[in-house]
Chains A and B, each alone.
Chain A
């Protein structure tokens, strides 16, 4: 179940389900710069029953929606942010809890270097300014899964600020009309995760699991530069890919490693922003898009009916597809922020400011981390497009599916087939089969080598396209067989014997004089019928182009 949600969230061409213009006035604007704030009127969500932003029914004034996101990404690290406890998903309850995590009195936080490095890497990848000095604060609230009564976070001076994230959405009717947009990143802060409360309603008990308490989080705050659910979902998906490429977070939404809260408001263009609501705990990109679009529509509906929007926290009910006010009072709390006195300021260095003779174990050098950043998804896509002449949308699909790019590259390595052919097979047939059976790439019964071999057979015209498809189906069903084995077992190889094929053609023409007559009278469809008949007679083992050649030659002679 867990894996299912994520896979649905990146199903097919999800990235293209983005905003398109209702009109064409500011549709395919090129990359949106940091400072340019698009007009938000008139956009609507493609292929969504819920129309997000629209002309007022009274036909007078447009509405614009403004969406900002707060994203919590669990840092991928061996141990927690301030304690030595291990970090594992789905470990037995309360098995990964140190004295500090349980807030035993007298325990003190000790900052995990790996988490700091992950924050710096993420900040650099998101074009942020890394603060060489950042501070930790306590944020107070009473909750059963927050043992200390406060969370250690970075409210005053976070580790990274002022970044930006470029993401792509489709802007036209065709998926190839892609527009790159940019959302500004306000800040990235390091903070502790809370534990989990499990409410046992019948027994009116609450059970607490502190395994997650104290795990390092990166809170990434995206400025309200988005205007609909699909923009938000695309931005989140891009962030997810970046985090995964960096290895700073597994960013699996279904496992709670990536959690998104959305701030949403609507207003008339040119007027001040409206009152915003916050939709919390969105655990898949699909629900994120749905929740935002529902909320935009709801707010417009409320305002048009003379009601007011309350500054409140809402939750998304994925079964009903709507947002509901959350009853907890958390949103109105005064968190009584205070500097965390047990942690000195977090100091980072670059090569220029590195104190001479500093112990490399004791200091973090931003430049050193920058030089070792891995390739980011944007660059990978660019390379795919350049190297293989791939369409941009195909490069997106390849990256969006976990493991698909690697699969594709392994096929390319082992086959002589054209990259375009490989792309087409991987994205249409292979991915189609996976989707149909709801499998992940690494669960595929067909290996890259098998597909490569199959494409080689096709490439040297040993089999026809339709036979290739048959072989693929067979590969999918019976693990362990090679394409060549299947081809010979099923006698799928193309007839290489020209004379034999000519004889079959001759027999077919003789058997269907009426069709031959039609053809001679100039009916272009008639030849196709003949080709079909010949293929049937050869059990689909003949190449249709060769059949056509023979037939045409015979007819004209």
Chain B
């Protein structure tokens, strides 16, 4: 039952093949069994069982709240959850229990979803490995797959298997692992520079980054307000569309959400690929791109072409500037957003009380890890009066050029862009930590962060039917909502096979 898609299990609930409580208990027991993955920071067992019980009552009365009623979901631990600890995987917020629900969390609960727990991440979502949180790294479920173990055996005899586990990618690695390990049917992530799509790619699940403004950020503890979006992780594209349908729309509590009414997102059962024009950005053919990813990328492109789609090379000329530009804008907003963590109103407070300033300094030194402190420092440097013009303003201008690249391409008749999500497949933890967080983020966000800066794009990552471990492609479309999902769905239909990698 746990291996099914959200839609399938929803049908099973409606038909009474399984009750919400049974489903919830199955998930809870699997969460316990897979505790070593470190996907969850908090498992909200009591809350989940109570919600499942209520859902069960509704089903019994025939008052189901819809497709999500009774469906176990997980939420990244940077979304505020009323009376459930919300830590951002940071000492700073250990023990912080928000008094309110993020809008997206509330919407899920209003639709009857059952909240299994809060998932692990890089501290304050700053990272691309889910390795830099105070609760330790998240392990990729694929590390324990038969396929991966066999591959390791062939490659390196005698190596300690336990230390060779793969990273999940990040920063929403906990959510990706939770979905990949079947402990829930959908999870919320957040995506600022690739944080939903990257771990989705590495964990072989669907990761969807909605357009900026489509889904409310209210209650999402911000990384970069102007780029953050709540992300959706599911095991198939159709499921992502269902969840998006529940979450999308104007929120009076978030002034940056679009006011226009949202049309329902439905996937076509059959789509005419003939009419599609698919762009392959030449700048994304980076030398660092691994041969596996490159070959899968061209395989997918060829597949589309053979099915009648028009596949053309396009140019996003400012791509090479985008990661530097992202770094300046991201750290500047980080410096600003982190200013509120001073130990006064909530969160960690140090024991030092010599002066208010000394208290701030010690609280922030103890509360934040090196990555967060490093970004605060850089951001404040960029915002200094003497540097503002040279860094922040310049970065904003470059951001505009990057956004225009996308506008130009989509205006030229291209319907969607097909790109890889990451340079390579998931790497072992020991290899990953050889480089620092900053270097890793710069490499890993290379294909993903540009669309965050462009803002209005819709991006979806689709699992590859990989024999070894998951790898993903990335579909981007512009202000045409169903397109991304549609195309992602097509790829899925054509290439995805079910992988019983977890038992």
- Interface residues in chain A, defined as those with a beta carbon under 8 Å from any beta carbon in chain B: 99, 102-111, 138, 140, 142, 144, 147-150, 206, 208, 334, 336-338, 341-344, 362
Contacts and interface: CB of A to CB of B under 8 A. Distances in A.
Contact of B333 (A102, A103, A104, A338): A338
A105 B100 contact: no
B255 A104 contact: no
A337 B356 CA distance: 23
Nearest to A111: B255
Given A140-B383, A147-B340, 9 more contacts: A103-B340, A105-B222, A106-B102, A106-B217, A110-B255, A336-B380, A336-B388, A337-B388, A338-B332
A337 B379 CA distance: 12
B271 interface: no
Contacts of A106: 79-80, 98, 102, 217-222
A110 B392 contact: no
Interface of B: 79-80, 88, 93, 98-100, 102, 217-222, 224-226, 252-256, 259, 332-333, 335-336, 338-342, 344-346, 356-357, 360, 380, 383-385, 388, 392
Q: Which of A103, A111, A344 neighbours the largest number of chain B CB atoms within 10 Å of its CB?
A: A103
A105 B93 contact: yes
Contact of A108 (B253, B259, B383, B384): B253
Contacts of A109: 255
A512 B364 CA distance: 97
A206 B338 CA distance: 22
Contacts of B338: 149
A432 B339 CA distance: 54
SS class, residues of chain A in contact with chain B? loop
A344 B257 CA distance: 10
A338 B385 CA distance: 10
25 contacts: A99-B99, A103-B340, A104-B99, A104-B345, A105-B93, A105-B221, A105-B222, A105-B346, A108-B253, A109-B255, A110-B253, A110-B255, A111-B255, A144-B342, A206-B356, A334-B385, A336-B380, A336-B388, A338-B332, A341-B226, A341-B333, A342-B225, A342-B254, A343-B255, A344-B255
A341 B333 CA distance: 9
Nearest to A143: B356
Nearest to A97: B345
A105 B360 contact: no
B392 A149 contact: no
Given A103-B340, A144-B344, A208-B344, A336 B253 contact: no
B80 A150 contact: no
B346 to A, nearest CB: 7
A104 B100 CA distance: 10
Contacts of A208: 344
Contacts of A102: 345-346
Contact of B384 (A149, A336, A341, A343): A336
Contacts of A138: 336
Choose among A110, A208, A344, A362 the residue with the greatest number of B CB atoms under 10 Å from its CB. Answer: A110
A148 B344 contact: no
Contacts of B360: 142
B339 A140 contact: yes
Contacts of B335: 336
A142 B339 contact: yes
A142 B344 CA distance: 11
